[in-house]
Amino acid sequence: MLSGKKIVLGITGGIAAYKSAELTRALIKEGAQVKVVMTKSATEFISALTLQTLSQNSVYMDMFVPAEKYDMAHIALAEFADAFVIAPATGNIIGKIASGIADDLLSTTIMAAAKPTLICPAMNDKMLANPIVQENIKKLKEYGYTVMESGVGELACKTQGAGRLPDVSEIVEEGESLLTPKDFAGQKLLITAGPTQEP
């Protein structure tokens, strides 16, 4: 379903960032070409070298690099992508996108792109329940972003609750849905189940 599709994977600074390696492999296994953008905080949880090796592409991290290296990265990435996936999406990046703040490479690239975007929140359950975070998630949905429900279970802080990154297979499936034409969207269908008649 993702064969030939170009995905920009945004990784932010949450403990679930370690799962982005598995997500990168899963997207590529489905036929996608993946380029990774990491926030500075994300590099505290997983190395750029790991993601570069898995994606077979340069990993983008810095806003201010020589032009010949990234060719205005935020514009080039926005034009490259068929879709964006942000996983994990911290409360910080959710707030930035919802408020129109573009102060690093990932938030600037998202602002420059009018492409389908899948946001996968992952954070402590109390952070996720914060009314400001919930309001920002609501705003993102109203703006047309697709926001997945966080998983429920044991969190890194040893508490139980919502805030886990959705399973990698679920993220891939949602990404496929994001890029699949909705041929019957808005249509009303009547299905009848009459008898089978044969000579």
Q: List, by residue number, the catalytic residues.
A: 157
Tell which residue, 87, 84, 86, 85, has the closest CA to residue 16. 87
Cα-based angle 2, 34, 116 (whole degrees, multiple of 5): 60
Taking the chain, what is the end-to-end CA distance rounded to the nearest angstrom? 41
What the block records as the tokens of 158 is: 């040893």
Main-chain phi, psi angles of 11, to 5 degrees: -120, 125
8 within 8 A of 80, measured Cβ to Cβ: yes
Contacts 24+ apart (CB under 8 A), 152-155: 155/124, 155/125
Length of the chain: 199
Which helix (H) or strand (E) segment holds residue 140: the answer is helix 131-142
Residue 64: partners with Cβ closer than 8 Å, 6 or more residues away: none
Residue 18 in tokens:
């370690």
Cα separation of 23 and 192, whole Å?
41
